[in-house]
């Protein structure tokens, strides 16, 4: 990968001093100081670039996401030996990173260094709980990742790409052997997902190997259909096309199918060993693991009780705002009765057929198209990458979330994708469509992630750092932002916005309830059904997700509240000088950051006015 982005982070003052321009300091001491700063800047830039290239070289999957085909036929190494090498590499990098002289770096470079060091420290802290993470759960794992990756990420534009696809199919067996090895390491350490999740994992795995060529006479399996379609788009001789199809069919039957069957057998065995209960309190050192998860996802030092109480406060606040909507639409009844009305009235639901699904996708696109026209009034930074709306594929729609976003490829060959899960139209009400489109699409995740990929002047690693409170906090913030932009004109749609915010507030309550207060899955589901207008199906899928990903769900509301607090502070201190475009650009212009560094950024932005 070229390093032009990292090299362009060298400050203007450094460039001027190197060029000997009139702007350079006149005194000998100042010139020496500037040259030292230049050396530090160059060394830091090279250090970041080298680290990034090492990580990229060690991850064929990451390469493919970025449109790079260097190791196009390979999967990542997920063995413990590879993880040990990663940890040793991180420890060495941390020592080197702390040796840079911050006084000889620009403000931008100091921020990048802070992010780099913090990111490594977080990863090292996680390694103390290496086996606590569920390597698989009903929500995600290699069993569904493999087909999703091949279908959505592995492009075939020439014969060598098709050969690489086949090589990846053949590699599924060894990839899954490593996965099973990780499952067994967790078994040795007493770490298991809840019993009920195994049936869903096994079913999702079985779905992948349903259909031809695994079962002759049936319609094509998802992977087989994908490969055949991609190969048919190439201009090939019949002999070459037949060679590719024969080799892919052989790989599917002789490598992929046995790998999935072996994995399902392992899951069936472990299901019997999983202890009763749902939250991580049932695991060895589960309390310490959960605090680690809260720190990781929220980038704060909030404890579980504080998060729980924060959730209860905002649930009550949003309930009161919903009562105002009830008055606006002249609904006569209690809030719980209003929830029942919103759950069940046919006017809020699309038909559960092909026509209804097409109408949903068409209307969701219309919201995105209208939003795009308003963006320049609120943002200076606008992504160049396109975004499309796509249905979740059939093989994973039963286990996938109701909506999610996939970033565009860096080379522009693949757009950003807002996925809508239309498996069950009864859980995709029209009144939530607007907020959902803004969160997952524009101005939410597509704005944040596509802009980050396109940023100039920051190291590449910074564009791919993971700070969930920032990313999901931004998504939730941009659900509410359109209200001041003139959207949510329908009060029911505004109720949908509040319903989605309420959902995130309830997450604070149920996530901590499940993992520290020993709530059962059923108790947590009942809380959501009672306190939100969402369907019971929605509540079941959500609670199962929070169980599988402890702490992750708390990041949304905590991140949004911090962004709103920082904006309110900027508005109060700047008064008439406050520029919402400038504020949004300041939030986004350095990529994802932990919340404490975001606060520092906004403070500096305020001070610069």
- Six-digit token pair at 244? 């590719």
Q: Looking at the predicted structure, is the pLDDT value of residue 19 above 80? A: no
391 and 510 co-located in one domain:
yes
Q: Could you tell me if 387 and 445 lie in one domain?
A: yes
Question: Residue for token digits 């892919």?
Answer: 248
Do residue 170 and residue 301 come from a single domain?
no
Region label for 262, one of left (φ > 0), alpha (ψ between -120 and 50) or beta (otherwise): alpha
Candidates 596, 579, 598; CA nearest to 588 is 598
Cα–Cα distance between 103 and 125 in angstroms, integer?
28
For the chain, give percent helix, strand, coil, nearest 5.
Answer: 65, 5, 30
Q: pLDDT at residue 24 above 50?
A: no
> Is residue 192 domain-resident?
yes
Higher pLDDT, 294 or 464: 294
Q: Give the dihedral sign, CA 24/27/31/33.
A: negative
- Position 140 scores a pLDDT of 86
DSSP 219: P
Phi/psi of residue 150, each to 5°?
Answer: -60, -40
Query: Residue 554: how many CB atoms within 10 A of its CB?
Result: 32
Over residues 307-324, the pLDDT tens digits come to: 999 999 999 999 999 999
Domain boundary pick from 94, 127, 160? 127
Assess whether 223 and 354 both reside in one domain: no
Instruction: Give the strand order in the sheet containing 416-420.
Output: 387-391, 416-420, 403-406
Residue 32 pLDDT > 50: no
Question: Of 225, 254, 276, at which residue does a domain stop?
Answer: 276
Which DSSP state fits 157?
S
Query: Is pLDDT of 14 > 80?
Result: no
> Could you list the residue range(s) of the whole structural domain that residue 115 is in?
4-57+79-127
Question: Are 120 and 146 found together in one domain?
Answer: no
pLDDT by residue (tens digit) across 388-444? 999 998 877 876 778 999 999 877 788 999 999 999 998 899 999 999 999 999 999
Rounded Cα–Cα distance for residues 210 and 262 (Å) = 15
pLDDT per residue as tens digits for the range 521-530: 999 999 999 9
Q: Using pLDDT thresholds of 50, 70 and 90, give the confidence band for residue 480.
A: very high
The H or E element spanning position 416 is: strand 416-420
The per-residue pLDDT for range 223-239, each reduced to its tens digit, is 999 999 999 999 999 99
Token duo for residue 546: 């929070």
* DSSP code for 221: P
Q: What pTM was computed for the model?
A: 0.85
pLDDT, mean of residues 533-555: 93
Closest CA to 186 of 232, 231, 134: 134
**Domain stops at, among 249, 276, 303:** 276
Output the pLDDT for position 49: 95
CA 27 – CA 289 distance, rounded (Å): 55
In the Cβ-directed half-sphere of 197, how many Cα atoms lie within 13 Å? Answer: 28
Q: What angle do helix axes 580-588 and 595-607 make, rounded to 10 degrees?
A: 140
Assess contact for 586 and 605: CB atoms under 8 A. Answer: yes
Within a domain: 586 = no
> Same structural domain for residues 438 and 331?
yes
When pLDDT is averaged across residues 486-502 and rounded to a whole number, the result is 97
Pair (303, 232) in one structural domain: no
Q: How confident is the model at residue 37 (pLDDT cuts 50, 70, 90)?
A: low
How far is the C-alpha of 138 from the C-alpha of 500, rounded, in Å?
23
Which residues lie across from 418 on neighbouring strands?
389, 405
Distance CA 63, CA 69 (A): 7
For residue 28, pLDDT beyond 50: no
For residue 172, name the pLDDT band (cuts at 50, 70, 90): very high
Mean pLDDT of the chain: 91
Give the HSE-up count for residue 221: Cα atoms under 13 Å, Cβ half-sphere: 23
- Could you give the percent of the chain with pLDDT greater than 70? 94
Q: For residue 224, count other CB atoms closer than 10 A to its CB.
A: 20
Q: Please give the structure tokens belonging to residue 149.
A: 């990756």
How many Å apart are CA 164 and CA 74, to the nearest integer? 8
Name 26's Cβ contacts closer than 8 Å, sequence gap at least 6: none
| Within a domain: 570 | no
Question: Are both 271 and 321 inside the same structural domain?
Answer: no
Alpha carbons 18 and 10: distance in angstroms, whole number: 11
> Beta strand pairing status for 416-420 and 403-406?
antiparallel
Q: Helix 468-484 vs helix 445-454: angle between axes, to the nearest 10 degrees?
A: 120
- Asked if 210 contacts 148 with a C-beta cutoff of 8 angstroms, the reply is no
Q: Are residues 262 and 367 in the same domain?
A: no
State the DSSP code for 392.
Answer: P
Q: Three-state SS across 464-481? A: CCCCHHHHHHHHHHHHHH
Answer whether residue 379 is part of any domain.
yes
How confident is the model at residue 5, as a pLDDT? 31
How many domains, in total, are found in the chain? 3
In this prediction, residues 178-195 reach a mean pLDDT of: 97
The per-residue pLDDT for 538 is 86
Shared domain for 120 and 255, answered yes or no, is no
**128-164 tens-digit pLDDT:** 999 999 999 988 899 999 999 999 999 999 999 999 9
Q: Is the pLDDT score of 585 beyond 80? A: yes
Cα–Cα distances in angstroms (integers) from residue 33 to residues 38, 108, 293, 300, 496, in the given order: 9, 18, 43, 37, 57
Stretch (H or E) spanning 390: strand 387-391
pLDDT over threshold 70, residue 3 = no
Q: Are 215 and 106 within one domain?
A: no
Bridge partners of 212, per DSSP, are: 220
Q: What is the pLDDT of residue 118?
A: 95
Q: What confidence tens digit (pLDDT) does each residue in 83-117 have? A: 999 999 999 999 999 999 999 999 999 999 999 99
Percent of the chain with pLDDT over 90: 86
CB atoms inside a 10 Å sphere around CB 158:
12
Helix and strand numbers (H, E) in the chain are: 26, 3
Residue at 585 is within a domain: no
Maximum pairwise Cα distance, the chain: 84
Asked if the structure places residue 36 within a domain, the reply is yes
Higher pLDDT, 375 or 402: 375
Look at residue 194 and tell me whether its pLDDT is greater than 60. yes
pLDDT for position 409: 83
Task: Tell me the average pLDDT across 269-276.
Answer: 96
402 with 293, same domain: the answer is yes
Classify residue 51: in a domain, yes or no: yes
Nearest CA to 294 among 445, 426, 412, 129? 129
- Whether 568 is covered by a domain: the verdict is no
């Amino acid at each position: 990968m070229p390093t032009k982005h990292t090299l362009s982070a060298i400050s203007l003052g450094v460039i001027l001093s190197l060029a000997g321009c009139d702007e350079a300091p006149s005194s000998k001491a100042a010139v020496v100081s500037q040259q030292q700063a230049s050396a530090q800047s160059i060394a830091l830039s090279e250090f970041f670039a080298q680290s990034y290239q090492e990580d990229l070289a060690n991850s064929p999957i990451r390469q493919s996401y970025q449109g790079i085909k260097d190791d196009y036929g390979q999967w990542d190494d997920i063995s413990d030996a590879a993880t040990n090498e990663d940890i040793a590499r991180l420890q060495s990098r941390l020592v080197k990173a702390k040796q840079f002289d911050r006084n000889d770096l620009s403000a931008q470079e100091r921020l990048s260094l802070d992010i780099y060091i913090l990111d490594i420290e977080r990863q090292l802290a996680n390694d103390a709980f290496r086996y606590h993470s569920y390597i698989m759960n009903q929500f995600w794992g290699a069993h569904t990742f493999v087909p999703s990756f091949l279908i959505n990420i592995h492009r075939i534009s020439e014969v060598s790409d098709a050969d690489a696809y086949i090589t990846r199919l053949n590699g599924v067996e060894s990839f899954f052997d490593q996965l099973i090895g990780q499952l067994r390491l967790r078994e040795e350490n007493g770490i298991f997902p809840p019993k009920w999740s195994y049936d869903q994992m096994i079913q999702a795995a079985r779905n992948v190997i349903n259909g031809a060529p695994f079962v002759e006479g049936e319609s094509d399996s998802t992977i087989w259909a994908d490969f055949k379609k991609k190969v048919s788009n190439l201009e090939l001789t019949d002999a070459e096309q037949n060679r590719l199809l024969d080799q892919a069919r052989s790989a599917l039957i002789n490598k992929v199918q046995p790998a999935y069957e072996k994995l399902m057998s392992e899951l069936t065995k472990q299901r019997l060993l999983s202890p009763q209960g749902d939250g991580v309190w049932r695991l060895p050192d589960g309390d310490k693991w959960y605090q680690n998860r809260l720190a990781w996802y929220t980038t704060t030092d909030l404890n579980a009780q504080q998060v729980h109480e924060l959730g209860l406060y905002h649930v009550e606040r949003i309930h009161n705002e919903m009562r105002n909507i009830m008055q606006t639409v002249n609904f006569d009844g209690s809030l719980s009765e209003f929830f029942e009305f919103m759950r069940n009235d046919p006017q809020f639901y699309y038909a559960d057929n092909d026509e209804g699904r097409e109408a949903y996708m068409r209307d969701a696109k219309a919201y995105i198209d209208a939003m795009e026209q308003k963006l320049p009034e609120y943002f200076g930074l606008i992504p160049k990458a396109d975004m499309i709306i796509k249905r979740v594929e059939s093989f994973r729609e039963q286990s996938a979330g109701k909506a999610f976003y996939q970033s565009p490829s860096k080379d522009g060959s693949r757009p950003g994708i807002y996925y809508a899960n239309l498996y069950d139209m009864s859980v995709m009400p029209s009144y939530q469509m607007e907020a959902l489109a803004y969160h997952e699409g524009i101005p939410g995740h597509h704005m944040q992630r596509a802009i980050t990929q396109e940023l100039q002047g920051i190291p590449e690693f910074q564009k791919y750092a993971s700070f969930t409170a920032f990313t999901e906090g931004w998504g939730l913030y941009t659900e509410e932002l359109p209200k001041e932009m003139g959207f949510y004109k329908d009060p029911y749609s505004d109720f949908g916005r509040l319903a989605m915010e309420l959902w995130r507030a309830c997450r604070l309550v149920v996530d901590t309830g499940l993992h520290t207060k020993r709530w059962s899955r059923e108790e947590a589901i009942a809380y959501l059904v009672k306190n939100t207008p969402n369907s019971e199906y929605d509540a079941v899928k959500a609670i199962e997700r929070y169980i599988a990903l402890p702490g992750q769900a708390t990041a949304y509301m905590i991140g949004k509240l911090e962004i709103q607090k920082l904006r309110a502070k900027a508005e109060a201190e700047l008064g008439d000088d406050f520029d919402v475009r400038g504020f949004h650009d300041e939030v986004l212009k350095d990529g994802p950051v932990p919340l404490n560094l975001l606060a520092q950024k906004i403070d500096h932005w305020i001070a610069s006015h």
